[in-house]
Structure 1
C-alpha cells in the first residue's frame, strides 16, 4: 500500500467534489447566463465537464495505484503528479495577472491542485 498515492487520490476526490459543487455555482451558471456567443459558451461548458471527468478519473487512478500497486505505478503516479503541477502552474500564472495583494487568492484553484501534485510525486519516488 502507498499512503502518499492514496492521500493524493483522496485529495483529488475532495477537489473533484469542490469543482462539481462550487464550480457549478461560481463558474458554470454565470457562463451559461452570459451574453457570450453560443459556440464559445458551449465549448467552455464542455471544457468544464472535461475537467470534471479528468479530476474524478485521476482521483480513482491514484487511489487504485495506492492500494493495488500494479506494475507501472511509479510512472503513472509521476505522470499524474506532473500534470497536476502543470494545472497548478497555469492557475498560478493566470492568478498573478490580477492586481492587488489578494491576487493569489482570486483564483485559488492552484492551492487545491498543488497538494495533489506534491503527494503524487512523493508517492512515486
Structure 2
C-alpha cells in the first residue's frame, strides 16, 4: 500500500463528489438559466461533465494504484499528478485574470487540486 497515492485518490474522490453535487448548485444551475445560446451552453455543460468523468476515473485509478502499490503504474500516476497540478494552475491563472489578488478566495478549487497533484507525484517518485 502506498499511502501517498491512496491519499491522493481519496482526496480526488472527495473532490469529484463536491464537484458533482456542490457544483450543480452553484455554477451550473445559474449558468443553465442564463441567456447564453443553446450550442455554447450545451458545449460548456458537456465540458463540465467531462471534468466530472476525469475526476472520478483518475481518482479511482489513484485509489487502485495506491491500494495495491502498483509500481508499474507510477509513470501514469506521475502524469495524473501533473494533470492535477496543471488544473490547479489553470484555476489560479483564470482566477487571477478575473479577480486579481482575490483569486484564492473567489476560486478555491485549487486548494483541492494542488494537494492531489502533490500527493500523487510524491507517492510515485
Distance in 2, matches of 1:45 and 1:58, equals: 20
2:60 counterpart of 1:60: yes
Distance in 2, matches of 1:45 and 1:30, equals: 12
Q: What is residue 76 of structure 1 aligned with on the other side?
A: 76
Task: Give the structure with the larger helix fraction.
Answer: 2
Cα RMSD for the two superposed structures: 1.2
Distance in 2, matches of 1:111 and 1:29, equals: 23
**How many residue pairs end up in the alignment?**
125
Q: What is residue 30 of structure 2 aligned with on the other side?
A: 30
- Determine if contact 2:92/2:103 at 8 Å carries over to the other structure: no
Relative to 1, partners in 2 of residues 1:100 and 1:49: Cα closer, same or farther, differing over 3 Å?
closer
**Which runs of 5 or more residues in structure 2 are unaligned?**
none
**Which runs of 5 or more residues in structure 1 are unaligned?**
none
The alignment's TM-score, normalised by the length of structure 1, stands at 0.94
User: 1:72, CA displacement in angstroms?
Assistant: 2.3
